[in-house]
Structure 1
Amino acid sequence: MSGHVFISYSHASDGGYVERLAAHLMDAGVVVWFDRQLITGDRWSQVIERQIDSCAAFVVVMSPAARASEWVDREIDQADLRGKPIFPLLLGGERFFRLANLQYEDVTGDRMPPAAFVGRLRSGQTVAKAAPVVVAVDAATLTRQHNDAITMYDRGVPDRRSAVLLPPRRLATLTNTSYVWALAFSPDGRTMVTGSHDMRVLLWDVTAPAAPHLLATLTAHTNAVAAVAFSPDGRTMVTGGGDKRVLVWDVTAPAAPHLLATLTAHTNAVAAVAFSPDGRTMATGGGDKRILVWDVTAPAAPRLMATLTDHTLAVAAVAFSPDGRTMATGGGGGDLRVLVWDVTAPAAPHLLATITAHTSGVRAVAFSPDGHTMATGGGDKRVLVWDVTTPAAPRLVAALTDHTSGVVAVAFSPDGHTMATSSNDYRILVWDVTVPAARRLLATLTDHTNTVAAVAFSPDGRTMASGSTDKQVMIWQVSE
C-alpha cells in the first residue's frame, strides 16, 4: 500500500489502546502514523494536516472522549475534505452520528480489529468488492453520448437554458448554533425549515428572501436533526434525526406549529424523509438499513404500510418521482447502491433496478421535475446523471467530476433547467442541465467554509438556500 494509515483518537482516554492497535497493524504490514502526545500550536496543526493529506486511509477510534474531542472532529473534517477512505472503530459508547453512513468494526473490550479489516487497510480498499454491476456504462460509450448531446445542442436544439444569474447573488446569511444538516422550502415558498446538530428545528419566514425572520423554534428532538420535508399541501412537516424518531407537525400556522405524531419504528438514526407528490405516502430511511413506507392520509395517525430491507447499510437518501410511481433510495457507506422502486401500490413496493455505478456511499438522490432525469451524488466525489424515462432500465448520460470531495446534496430547479450540487469540498456547483448529457457549469459558490450539507430551490425558482456545517444558512438569488 502506498502511503500510511492515519489513526485519529482521544489522547484523554484511548492512548493505550491506540499504541496496541498501531503495533497490531504494523505487525500485519500496515504502515501507521499517529501523534503520541497532544501538542498544540500552528506548527503541529500543520504536521497533522500534512499527515492526513498524505495518508492512504484514515482510521478513527470512536469513544465518548473522542466524540467530545475538538481535535478528532477537526481531523475527520480534513480527511473528509481530502476524500480519504475512513475506517471507524467503535471502542466505546455509540458510533458517531456524522459517520453513521459508514460501516464500522466493533472493538469494544479493547479487542483488535479482525483480519478482514486489516486486509482492507493493507490493500487500500474501503470496502469489499462490490456485487456484479447491474447498470454500467463504459468510458467510450459515455464520451460518445456526451459528444452526441453537445453536437445536438450546437445544431439548434431550442435554447431553453434557465435564467440563472452568473454568479448567483447571496441575499442573506442566517447563523445557527451548530451544524446545519437539512433544509426545505414550503410549497408556497413563504416558509423555510432548517434542521441542525443542536437538535433544533427552525422555521423561517422567507417571504422577503433578503430579510428572513425566525417564526418558530422546535426542540422536541433529543439528538441531531438530519432530515426535514414539507407535505405537498404545505400543511404538514416531517422531521427526522439521530434520536431514531420521525416527528409529524401541523404547520398550518408556521409561527405556531404543533406536534401531531411521533413515529418510533426506526431503530437507528433517521437520515432521510420524503413525501409522495400526492401527499398520501411518506418514506423514511436511516441507519437501521431500512426504508419505511407510511400512509399519511391522516397525518396525526400515520400507518406503516411497508418495510424495505434490501439495503445492506444505512439509507442516506430517499426521493419520489414527480408522478409518484417511482421511488429511489441511496445506500450510504459500503452499500454504494441506488435502488429504484415501483411504488404504484405503496403498500407493496417492488424493486425495479439496482444501480451500482458509484464507488462510495450514495448521499443524495433527486428527480428532475419532468421525471425523465435522476441525479445521484456520492462519496466518490461524483454526480451521476441518469435517464430514467424507463425506470426499470436507468441509463447513465453524464458523470460530473468537478467536486473534489464527497457529494452530499443534489437539487433541481422547478423548471428543471438548473441543478445545484454540494459537497464536503465546501462548494456549491450550479449547472445548466437543459440537455442533461450536455450539462454546463454555470457557477461555483465558495462562500461556505465547511461541508455544504443541504441545498434546495424555492418553488418559484428565484432563490436557493444552502445549509452547512459552518453553522450558516445562505439564501441566494439565482434567477430574475
Structure 2
Amino acid sequence: MPSYEPRRLTGHTGAVTCVAFSADGRRLLTGGEDRSLRLWDAGTGTEVRSWEAGPAGVACGALSPDGGLAVSGAEREPSRLWDTSGGTQLRTLGSQEAGAFAVAFSPEGRLVVTGGVDGSVRCWDPRTDEELRRLLGHDAGVTSVAFSPDRRLVLSGDGRIAVGDDHVRLWDLREGRELRRFGASLFVVTAVAFSPDGRFALATTVDALLNAWDVADGHQVDRYPVGTGNLLCLDVSPDGRRLLTGSGSDFYGTDRAAGHQGDDTVRLLDVMDGRELWCHTLHGGNVLAVAFAPDGRRAASAGADGSVLLWDVVP
C-alpha cells in the first residue's frame, strides 16, 4: 500500500459508475446514479462543471481524447452525446432504445461504440449520430466494449449468468463481422481491454478471474485469480506493464458469485504474473470503475458509495 493518501473528489451523491481521463490528462469525467456527469481538473481535483445527464442516471460514460465531448449511457434510453464546455446535450444515439451498459470513444475520437442492454454492439459517428455498424451475436447485455489501438477491431464482453465460451467476442469493424470468440469457460464478463500494442485481449469476470488471450490466434496466454471478491473493472497502463482492477462484494446473486467474500478493493498488478504491487480499501462498497491517466503515474477509481479517488500509483 502506498504511504500517501489519495485525493478525494466530492460531489456525487450516489454510486459512481465511470471515470475517464482526457488524452492530455488534464480533465477527468465521472458519472453516476445521481444522474450527473461531472468534469474535474485532474491536477487539482477541482470540479470544473456538472450537469444532469438524464432521468435514468449514468450507467456508463466516456470522454473524447480532446476532452471536448462526452458520451453517456443508461438503461431504457438512448445514449447521449454532450459538449463538455457547457454541459449541453448535442444529440442522442437513437436506435438503441433499450439503453447501454458500456460506451467507448475510438483512440482518435471520431467513432463511438456502445454495448447494448439488448446484446448489440453498435458503432456511431458522434458528429452526425449515424449508426455505422451493428454487430450482433451476444445473447445478454454487453457489459464492456473497447477499441483496438488502431481502431480496426472492437472487443466486447457480455454478462450472461452462465459458464460459456462465447462471452467475449472480437469484431472486425471495417467488415462488420465477428472474427473470433475467446472462451475458457468464462462466467459473467465485467470488463474487457486491449493491451496498448494491440497484441493481447483481456477480460475480468465476476468470479475474480483475469484472463488474457493472443489477439492474432485466440489462444489463452494467462489466467489468474485477483482478490477474493467479484472482479468488476479493469484498465491497462499506457506502457502495458501494469493492470488496475476494482473488486466488489456483490454483482449477481448467483451461487458462483455469492461464494466470494467481500473485497471492495482497488489493486495495481504486474501484468506478467498478476503479482500485487499495492491495494487499497478506501471505497465504502463496490469499486465500479478504474482508469489510468495517460502518463501512467496517476489513476482514478470510483465506488458505489459515491466516492472518487485520485491516486499517484507511481511514487
User: What TM-score does the superposition give when structure 1 sets the normalisation length?
Assistant: 0.59
Shift of 1:373: 2.1
Q: Which of residues 230, 233, 238 in structure 2 aligns to 1:414?
A: 238
SS in 2 for 1:324: coil
Q: Is residue 365 of structure 1 aligned with residue 195 of structure 2? A: no
Q: Deviations over 1:107-144 (max 9, x none)?
A: xxxxxxxxxxxxxxxxxxxxxxxxxxxxxxxxxxxxxx
Q: Which amino acid aligns with 1:313?
A: A
AA of the residue aligned to 1:458 = A
Partner residue, 2:209: 382
* Matched-pair contact (CA < 8 Å) for 1:168–1:478: no
Alpha carbons 2:288, 2:304 under 8 Å: kept: yes
8 Å CA contact retained: 2:182, 2:213: no
Deviations 1:60-110 (A, max 9, x none): xxxxxxxxxxxxxxxxxxxxxxxxxxxxxxxxxxxxxxxxxxxxxxxxxxx
1:273 match: 103
Residue 25 of structure 2 aligns with an amino acid whose one-letter code is G
Aligned structure 1 segments of 4 or more residues deviating by more than 3 angstroms: none
Q: Is the 8 A contact 1:224 1:243 kept in 2?
A: no
State how far apart, in whole Å, the 2-side matches of 1:315 and 1:261 are: 22
Is 1:218 matched up with 2:51? yes
Code of the residue aligned with 1:399 in structure 2: it is R
For the pair 1:330 / 2:157, whether they are aligned, the reply is yes
Q: What residue number does 2:14 align with?
A: 178
Aligned 8 A contact 2:135 2:177 in 1:
no
User: Would the alpha carbon gap of residues 289 and 168 (structure 1) be closer, same or farther in structure 2, given more than 3 Å must change?
Assistant: farther
Q: 1:169, 1:478 within 8 Å by CA — same for their partners in 2?
A: no
**Matching residue within 253, 260, 280 for 1:445:** 280
Q: In the TM superposition, what are the counterparts of 1:131-210 in structure 2 within 5 Å?
A: 167=2, 169-175=4-10, 176-208=12-44
Q: CA deviation at 1:411?
A: 0.3
Distance 1:431 1:220, change over 3 A: closer
- Check whether the contact 1:221–1:243 (CA below 8 A) recurs between aligned residues: no
Gaps (5+ residues) in structure 1?
1-165
How far 1:305 sits from its partner (Å)?
Answer: 1.4
DSSP 3-state at the match of 1:369: coil
Q: Which of structures 1 and 2 has the bigger CA Rg?
A: 1
Following superposition, the deviation at residue 194 of structure 1 comes to 0.8
Deviations 1:423-473 (A, max 9, x none): 11201121122xx3x342211212112100000011111211000102101
Give the partner amino acid of 2:91: A
Asked if the contact 1:462–1:479 (Cα under 8 Å) also holds between the matched residues in 2, the reply is yes
Which whole-Å deviations, capped at 9, do the CAs of 1:289-319 have from their partners, x for residues lacking one? 11111123xx2x2211121220001110000
Structure 1 residue 423 and structure 2 residue 250: aligned? no
Query: Matches of residues 85-124 of structure 1 in structure 2 within 5 Å?
Result: none
Q: Distance in 2 between matches of 1:186 and 1:244?
A: 26
Task: Select the residue among 114, 117, 141 that pairs with 1:287.
Answer: 117
**Offset from partner CA, 1:146-177 (integer Å, 9 cap, x none):** xxxxxxxxxxxxxxxxxxxx637433112321
Could you tell me whether the CA contact under 8 Å between 1:167 and 1:442 is conserved in 2? no
- What displacement does 1:243 show? 4.2
* Equivalent position amino acid for 1:446 in 2: T
**Between Structure 1 and Structure 2, which shows a larger proportion of helix residues?**
1
SS of residue matched to 2:24:
coil
Q: How does 1:21-60 map to 2 (within 5 A)?
A: none
1:233 partner amino acid: D
Counterpart in 2 of 1:465?
Answer: 300
Q: Write the deviation string for residues 224-278 of structure 1: whole angstroms up to 9, x where unpaired.
A: 2011112233322111112422111123x3xx23221122221323110112223
Equivalent-residue separation in structure 1 for 2:203 and 2:179 (angstroms): 17
Mapped pair 1:405 → 2:242? no
SS where residue 170 of structure 1 aligns?
coil
Match of 2:219 in 1: 395
Deviation at 1:358, TM superposition (A): 4.2
Partner Cα distance (2:237, 2:221) in 1:
19
Distance 1:349 1:466 in 2: 33
* Separation in structure 2 between the aligned mates of residue 261 and residue 232 of structure 1, nearest angstrom: 19
Taking the aligned partners of 2:270 and 2:186, their CA distance within structure 1 comes to: 25
**1:235 paired residue number:** 68
Please say if 1:259 is aligned against 2:65: no
Aligned length: 297
Measure how far apart 1:406 and its partner are.
1.9
Residues 193 and 202 in structure 2, CA contact (< 8 A), matched pair in contact too: yes
What CA RMSD, in Å, does the superposition of the two structures yield over aligned residues?
A: 1.7
Q: Does the Cα contact within 8 Å between 2:76 and 2:99 map onto a contact in 1?
A: yes
More strand by share: 2
User: Compared with structure 1, are the counterparts of its residues 217 and 234 closer, same or farther at alpha carbon in structure 2 (3 Å cutoff)?
Assistant: closer
Task: Find 1:302's aligned residue among 115, 119, 129.
Answer: 129
Partner of 1:477: 312
Equivalent position of 2:176 in the other structure: 349
Using the alignment, how far apart are the partners of 2:223 and 2:69 within structure 1?
36
Per the alignment, in what secondary structure is the counterpart of residue 370 of structure 1? coil
For residue 245 of structure 1, what is the amino acid of its counterpart? P
TM-score, length basis structure 2 = 0.89
**Rounded Cα–Cα distance in structure 2 between residues aligned with 1:199 and 1:366:** 26
Tell me, in whole angstroms, the C-alpha distance in 2 between the residues paired with 1:444 and 1:215. Answer: 29
Q: Is the CA contact 1:168–1:476 (under 8 Å) kept in the aligned structure 2?
A: no
